[in-house]
Amino acid sequence: MRYYTGITNNFPGGLFEHVRVVSLFDEQPFEHEFFLRIQKSFPFIEELSLVNYKPQNRKQSYESNSNNQTLSLIEYLFLTKLYISDVHDDYIEQFLFHTKTYLQNNIIVYVAYESLQRVTHNFTRDSTRTNCAKISKLHFWGQEKPSNSLEEYFPYAKICYGLY
């Protein structure tokens, strides 16, 4: 099996070494521990898509806990495409904060411009800068006129607008 779609919070885990494409959907929030379980279950994941509009419940405790030092860093060593356009801003933070997620270089990200602008504090936030510098292609939905600091914040990314 190469694809595993429609995974929810009820996903029991397991090891799926041959799955390369995963999609996550739920009407309940995904917490950091859930993403850790996904990474361990799909160690060779290449494409990940998320749909979840609910904010993370434990985000506040993560932020107030000394720069997230108690969180396990989630490493996506083979991830090449990340679809995070239909998500609450918390999930964009989940993947772009270098203290929560380690991304490899040359990743392609699909995201809503306005959400990314909020999460990166108008492309100035230091905690998202490391992972943003690893993005090789950035697909935006909903924006055609970029801010001046966008290209500086994504120094290696080809920036695309419109439909995916």
pLDDT in tens, 91-141: 999 999 999 999 999 999 999 999 999 999 999 999 999 999 999 999 987
pLDDT in tens, 142-164: 666 667 788 889 999 999 987 54
Residue spans of the domains in the chain: they are 3-161
**Angstrom distance (rounded) from CA 56 to CA 25:** 14
Query: In degrees rounded to 5, what are phi and psi of residue 131?
Result: -70, -30
Residue 106 backbone class (left: φ over 0; alpha: ψ -120 to 50; beta: rest): left
Please report which residue ranges of 21-119 form alpha helices under DSSP H.
32-41, 59-63, 89-96, 113-119
Full-prediction pTM beyond 0.75?
yes
Predicted pLDDT at 109? 98
